[in-house]
Structure 1
Amino acid sequence: MAAPANKTIGDLNGKWVMNKTISSPVEPGLALQGIGWMTRKMVSLATVTLEIKQFTAPPSPPAEPSATPVTHVEIEQTGTGGMKGTTEKRCADNEFRDHSDWLFGHVKGQSRWIRTEDISDEFLKSGWLEGEEEKTGPNGESHFLSHVESYDAGWTATQVWGFKTDKEGKRRYARNVVIAKGAERVELQLWYDYIE
């Protein structure tokens, strides 16, 4: 389902389901991240739902007690077929924070708001809607950037979130993702249907 007009990068609150019909296959990216064959198959077959809560609050943990409030994006990710869920907590202050989960292991990640012109990677900056109605970040940004580095497996994953128009002309929430390890690189485009 296309995203309603009131859903923007400044308000992703709600439930979103990955549209596997138009999204890139995720298995090559998972393979580069060192995820085992059986788990890759399970994730590839599952229908993945994101329940997103987006709000403004002091950084967590705060750098100082009177820290300026920033955007938080908390995502409960669930999958069909017995796939265990994960919880992602992002804080848009560009500070690295450690995280561990069953799928990706021990990682550190940072997030921030970004404009298209600030994205240097051609794949990550490609295809976005750029109208004024998309510039709903705190300072008029049209994208949210998430960068993760694995402590154990040596890969990085960089995601740019925003809105695109699919081949049918429907406006959708999407992510451009680059997973890299050494000289190897996998590019993914993930598309999401708005549920509620």
Structure 2
Amino acid sequence: MAAAVAVPPTLSLHQIKAKFRMNKDISSNVEEVLKAQNVSWATRTAIKYSPVSLLVDNHTDDATATEYYVSTQLLPGGIKSEENRVLDNAVHEKVSPVFGPVKGQNGWITVADAAAIHPYLGEGWDNPEDAGLVHAYTEGDATKKKGCEWYSHQVFGFAMVDLGDGKPQRMYISKLWFRAPGLPEGGVTKRLVYDYCPDDE
């Protein structure tokens, strides 16, 4: 396996357009989360055993001044999941091809505000004084067909990660606090770590 490439210090979530690859050696197992979201066995298996790439694109539509944070997950076999998040903190509803009917809101958040939601979400980020994290709150809509009940707070940003060689590297991180019926009271926390892929941009 090729060595992980550190995210350059000049790269921020603002106006980002980059490709990453999930580092499964140091990422959390999210099987219980995906199962609680009624994600199909085939998709869960692909995520567990196949390489997962992620395209991240933050941009603003000049005509409407609307800011978007788009995360596109790519799996072998043509499996693709795109999350087109509008960073306006307004509630949006949609039917996801992976998660079914959902609603949620997205926006920029400080480290302190992330920690206020759940302490785990505020730990270990770069530049804790900056409002440089993206927060996505999503819940499954159990009132609609094929919907189920679950609640997710997800925070995206950069953090220094120890890869086991004593030389921490700056990497793209997604931290999750997830609650759903059948899971432990208080929910579960997960961390997904992504290697930077500069040659694939």
TM-score for both structures, normalised by structure 2 = 0.81
- Is 1:118 aligned to 2:113, yes or no? yes
Structure 1 residue 75, shift from structure 2 partner: 2.4
Alignment partners' CA distance in 2, 1:161 and 1:84: 22
Aligned to 1:160, which of 134, 144, 155?
A: 155
Deviation track 1:104-124 (CA, whole Å, cap 9, x = no partner) reads 111112101011111211111
SS in 1 for 2:122: coil
- Is 1:193 aligned to 2:188, yes or no? no
Corresponding residue for residue 174 of structure 1: 173
Q: How does 1:18-167 map to 2 (within 5 A)?
A: 18-57=22-61, 69-80=65-76, 82=77, 84-119=79-114, 120=116, 121-130=118-127, 135=130, 141-151=131-141, 152-167=147-162
Alignment partners' CA distance in 1, 2:191 and 2:136: 14
Equivalenced residue count is 180
Gaps of 5+ in 1: 59-65, 136-140
Structure 1 residue 93, shift from structure 2 partner: 0.5
SS in 2 for 1:124: helix
Alignment partners' CA distance in 2, 1:13 and 1:47: 20
Q: Which amino acid letter does the alignment assign opposite residue 70 of structure 2?
A: E
- Is 1:9 aligned to 2:4, yes or no? no
Gaps of 5+ in 2: 142-146
> Kindly, what percent of the aligned residue pairs are identical?
28
Q: Which has the higher helix share?
A: 2
Q: Which amino acid letter does the alignment assign opposite residue 190 of structure 1?
A: L
Which protein, 1 or 2, shows the higher relative CO under an 8 Å CA cutoff with sep ≥ 6? 1
TM-score for both structures, normalised by structure 1 = 0.83
Deviation track 1:131-189 (CA, whole Å, cap 9, x = no partner) reads 66xx3xxxxx1211011111111001111111111113101110111121147322110
Corresponding residue for residue 144 of structure 2: none
Alignment partners' CA distance in 1, 2:172 and 2:55: 13
Alignment partners' CA distance in 1, 2:78 and 2:50: 7
C-alpha RMSD of the superposition: 2.0
Structure 1 segments of 4+ aligned residues over 6 angstroms from their partners: none
